[in-house]
Amino acid sequence: MMDEGEVRALAGRLEAMGALIGLAVDPAYRENVAWYLAELLDAADLLTGLPLGEAIEPSPIFRP
């Protein structure tokens, strides 16, 4: 779990991160967006630490 300081630091990086993907986050929203993003990155951390094995594929909807 990110602490308050880390979330604030993440908010500070949102401008640069947004520039990379063409998404400008209004300064008024940044702190709140950073809280949600911190939660998502925690979730990503939890999942990417889980060994799944190469045989496990996503379930695509795509049908040729």
d(CA 31, CA 23): 15
User: Is 64 near another protein (CB under 8 A)?
Assistant: no
Smallest gap from Cβ 4 to another protein, in A, equals: 14
User: Is 33 near another protein (CB under 8 A)?
Assistant: yes
User: Is 59 near another protein (CB under 8 A)?
Assistant: yes
Closest CA to 26 of 12, 15, 39, 41: 15
d(CA 23, CA 37): 14
Smallest gap from Cβ 63 to another protein, in A, equals: 7
User: Is 63 near another protein (CB under 8 A)?
Assistant: yes
